[in-house]
Structure 1
Amino acid sequence: MTVLQAIALGVIQGITEFLPISSSAHLVLVPHWLGWSFDSQIQFTVDILLHLGTLVAVIIYFRQDIKAIMLALLTGLWNRNPLANNKAKLGWLILVATIPAGLIGVIFKGFFLDMLDNPRGVAALLMVTALVIVAAELYAPKVRTSIRDIRWVDALIIGCFQALAILPGISRSGVTIVGGLLRKFTRESAARLSFLMAIPVMLGASLVAGIELLTNHLLWQYWPAILAGFLTALLVGIVSIHWLLRYLQNHSLRPFAWYCVLVGLIGTLIGCSPAPDPIATKEPVYTVGVTSTTSELVRNLLMKSPYSEDFQIQIYSSDRQLIKAVSSGGVESGVVLYFPDNLSLFSVPLVLTKLHAIVQQDCDINELSIEDLRSVYTGTTVDWAEFGGVSEPIKLAVREEGDSARTIFESIVLDNTPPSPVARVFAGDDLIVEYVSNTNGAIGYGWQSSVSSDVKSLKISEAGNFSIPVYAISYKEFSGVLREWLAWVQQRPKTDLPEGFTPIR
């Protein structure tokens, strides 16, 4: 991720977090439409900091209200009269409104994370946001009241509306403002209440995610881009809050509803996939999904084959996302390094590649067994002297969770258990190679195509376990030109394959 990409995402987050048009939908759809493909761990890290930026924005904008509410809460507790005045009462009701979102977020976290990989579904939910806004404008009571008159039932009902916004595509500010309108609040009061209600929800989510974030090595690798996105989201967020509160004094929410309908229709009808990467001038027949690890292989083979004009390539950030896309029919076929046996997809092995354990060039250890590797990566063995080498603390390097290299390495070496928590996490084979080559005592792993002369590959007993098939997968049986190309690939000699790959036979 570049600094400019992070700034663009910060602008999107700062605007859409507070305007009733769903920030989660735009953070899913815009990168897809622009063809931006980010590593899942990088995207996770940036998303946390973008949301933290808008959290700081709402705290800064409403700092006087927050100060008054906190002071009233503390004074009420000290005097054993927690509902002493309207400010204290509002503080407690904001906490009550947070309960539904907190419960649903904890219980259904996995489901909502999976929704982020379904941009077409997110676009459809954006139209649900539009429908809710229009319905509220048509049927909400016309008699309006202010935020001072909020009751317990109002807080709980608006909190339930806020819980719906955990679905990406449902605007949190949109549905909470709608909840306020239905409970007879003015638009401005409903918006102000929506922003104040956002603080405990966003703060709780940031704290939970922040624990994982602080252990994520990518925070420090990409800090310029992450900091740029955070500051942009903060500044744009403050402007967005101020503008929306002034706008709602004399205007309705309907323009935002029509905007949600437009974007939702574009996403569902035209499509949400990134722009394909064409490799030929005539209209292609098939789209092949690849990852950063398999893209060079597929490009090389397509250019050499007589079928190059029949295909186009679409890049995905990980094998996991590509497999999901194929399973859902988002792309007809893909080429992956990791293929779980429990998936009901058609698969064909194409070529072989190898996973290498790597150390620094001047490391005096040349060979390890699988058991040795296991003891290293579980933290049982912590010094190279235990293998007969020069005494040096062992420093572990691993790929991010969900990466194919890590999944396969953990399957072969660690019996599907996680590595030692002291291992440093990297977002690419090239980053692991760079770290290992420059760090005394470091050990890592990577695909053969990425291993350079800057590091040394260890000889591993039972090395055959590290020969991994590269699969072509599809949700339906291979046929036509696609089947012919796959058969052509399987017959290629080693001289026709890029470095790091060997024939399957």
Structure 2
Amino acid sequence: MDILDLIKSAFLGLVEGITEWLPISSTGHMILVEEFVKMNVSEEFWNMFLVVIQLGAILSVVVLYFHDLNPFSPSKGAEGRRATWTLWGKIILGCIPAAVIGLPLNDFMDEHFYNGYVVAVALVVYGIAFIIIENWRAHKRSERALGVRMQAPKHGRHFAGAAPVAQPADDDTDFGRITRIEDISWKTAFGIGCFQVLSLVPGTSRSGSTIIGGLLLGTTRSVAAKFTFYLAIPVMFGASLLKVVKFLLGGAAMGANEWGIMIVGLVVAFVTSLLAIRWLTGFVRRHDFKVFGWYRIVLGVLVLAFFLFIGPALGLA
């Protein structure tokens, strides 16, 4: 078993575990990393590995939200179980658009769109989108705060029978019409699923496209991020299973080195994802997504520069 390959696998698992959940495109990072990190494996195994290590990432969601997603939890009554089944129904509904459109186009997209130029453009475009959307949300919050102040009684006096108007908190940055995961309607779940189709283009970011969809459809950042985690379960399990089946049906086999690479990548992606998800859920309660937008723009420019100038000069691209 090649120790160097195991170290490379651990590094790739680290990159996957972080970038899968942050709206910064795991594909954009992987396409750069694979230019420098080469393992002694077949091309077929490499393509499968890049998808299957996502299983480690998705298992972290299952662990963190097992109670919320388990309809058979003994602590849930009949109403709680019904609510959980309803949530799963919305998750499946949200996955249908990507499955219907993505499965037939999977090979085509890999062949024609999986390159540095497409990834770079997608990184920049959706980075700009995050900044525009967050500026729009900030404007809406200012309008709401102004409306509240206009309704508030002057000099602290109230007219008879008039209820005092609550002032918005200064740190009320995570706002939206939909403030709980349970409040997502079937229509909104399907709408967010339609945005997930955008992630078929490499560099878009699956989490980024669904979070943008959630924000535009009225969810808070916390709800958008959480529903994104939930949507990932069937999508990523399905994508990983599809890659494994295609790999095995192609007559390929895995030796001890390949199994070791796969296990190390999965474990590191799982542990890293646990930390990344916990960090993101805390971050979005207090901060907007503009920092990710700027990061995407910078990364997109770097990816484009690499494939246009740096890579050819180094003989890598």
Alignment check: 8 A CA contact 1:164 1:170 kept: yes
Q: Please show how residues 65-80 of structure 1 align to structure 2 within 5 Å.
A: 65-68=68-71
User: In structure 2, the residue corresponding to 1:108 is in which secondary structure?
Assistant: helix
Residue matched to 2:289? 253
**Match for 2:203: what amino acid?**
G
Equivalent in 88, 96, 101 of residue 98 of structure 2: 101
Alignment check: 8 A CA contact 2:69 2:84 kept: no
**Match for 1:203: what amino acid?**
F
Deviation at 1:261, TM superposition (A): 0.4
Equivalent in 5, 15, 21 of residue 18 of structure 2: 15
Greater fraction strand: 1
Stretches of structure 2 that go unaligned for 5 or more consecutive residues are 142-175
Q: Do the aligned partners of residues 35 and 199 (structure 1) sit closer, same or farther apart at CA in structure 2, a change above 3 Å counting?
A: closer
Q: Do the aligned partners of residues 190 and 35 (structure 1) sit closer, same or farther apart at CA in structure 2, a change above 3 Å counting?
A: closer
Residue 226 of structure 2 corresponds to residue 223 of structure 1? no
Residue matched to 1:448? none
Write out per-residue CA displacement over residues 424-464 of structure 1, whole angstroms, 9 at most, x where no aligned residue.
xxxxxxxxxxxxxxxxxxxxxxxxxxxxxxxxxxxxxxxxx
Deviation at 1:218, TM superposition (A): 3.4
Write out per-residue CA displacement over residues 304-357 of structure 1, whole angstroms, 9 at most, x where no aligned residue.
xxxxxxxxxx46xxxxxxxxxxxxxx6xxxxxxxxxxxxxxxxxxxxxxxxxxx
User: In structure 2, the residue corresponding to 1:251 is in which secondary structure?
Assistant: coil
- The TM-score normalised by the length of structure 2 is 0.77
Q: Do the aligned partners of residues 49 and 29 (structure 1) sit closer, same or farther apart at CA in structure 2, a change above 3 Å counting?
A: same
Alignment check: 8 A CA contact 2:70 2:84 kept: no
Deviation at 1:59, TM superposition (A): 1.1
- Counterpart CA distance in 2 for 1:135 and 1:160 is 20
Equivalent in 106, 116, 121 of residue 119 of structure 1: 116
- Counterpart CA distance in 1 for 2:228 and 2:31 is 23
Residue matched to 1:242? 278
Residue matched to 1:298? none
Deviation at 1:203, TM superposition (A): 1.5
User: In structure 2, the residue corresponding to 1:165 is in which secondary structure?
Assistant: helix
Deviation at 1:89, TM superposition (A): 2.1
Write out per-residue CA displacement over residues 379-423 of structure 1, whole angstroms, 9 at most, x where no aligned residue.
xxxxxxxxxxxxxxxxxxxxxxxxxxxxxxxxxxxxxxxxxxxxx
User: In structure 1, the residue corresponding to 2:44 is in which secondary structure?
Assistant: helix
Q: Please show how residues 175-324 of structure 1 align to structure 2 within 5 Å.
A: 175-214=209-248, 216-218=252-254, 220-271=256-307, 275=311, 314=315
Residue matched to 1:27? 30
Residue matched to 2:187? 153
Residue matched to 2:53? 50
Equivalent in 193, 197, 206 of residue 172 of structure 1: 206
User: In structure 1, the residue corresponding to 2:34 is in which secondary structure?
Assistant: helix
Alignment check: 8 A CA contact 1:133 1:175 kept: no
Residue 57 of structure 2 corresponds to residue 60 of structure 1? no
- Counterpart CA distance in 2 for 1:115 and 1:258 is 27
**Match for 1:241: what amino acid?**
I
- Counterpart CA distance in 1 for 2:188 and 2:107 is 29
Higher relative contact order (CA 8 A, sep 6+): 2
Stretches of structure 1 that go unaligned for 5 or more consecutive residues are 279-313, 316-329, 331-505
- Kindly report the root-mean-square deviation, in angstroms, between the aligned alpha carbons of the 2 structures: 2.8
Deviation at 1:270, TM superposition (A): 4.1
Deviation at 1:210, TM superposition (A): 2.3
- Counterpart CA distance in 1 for 2:271 and 2:247 is 22
- Counterpart CA distance in 1 for 2:308 and 2:42 is 18
Q: Do the aligned partners of residues 219 and 139 (structure 1) sit closer, same or farther apart at CA in structure 2, a change above 3 Å counting?
A: farther
Deviation at 1:275, TM superposition (A): 4.9
Deviation at 1:273, TM superposition (A): 7.8
How many residue pairs match? The answer is 273
Identical aligned residues as a percent? 31
Residue matched to 1:408? none
Q: Do the aligned partners of residues 63 and 273 (structure 1) sit closer, same or farther apart at CA in structure 2, a change above 3 Å counting?
A: farther
Residue matched to 1:393? none
Deviation at 1:252, TM superposition (A): 0.5
Deviation at 1:116, TM superposition (A): 5.9
Query: 4+ residue runs of structure 1 moved beyond 6 angstroms?
Result: none
- The TM-score normalised by the length of structure 1 is 0.50
- Counterpart CA distance in 2 for 1:48 and 1:124 is 22
- Counterpart CA distance in 2 for 1:9 and 1:272 is 24
Alignment check: 8 A CA contact 1:132 1:175 kept: no
Residue matched to 2:9? 6
Deviation at 1:121, TM superposition (A): 1.7
Deviation at 1:39, TM superposition (A): 4.0
- Counterpart CA distance in 2 for 1:211 and 1:184 is 38
Alignment check: 8 A CA contact 1:120 1:271 kept: yes
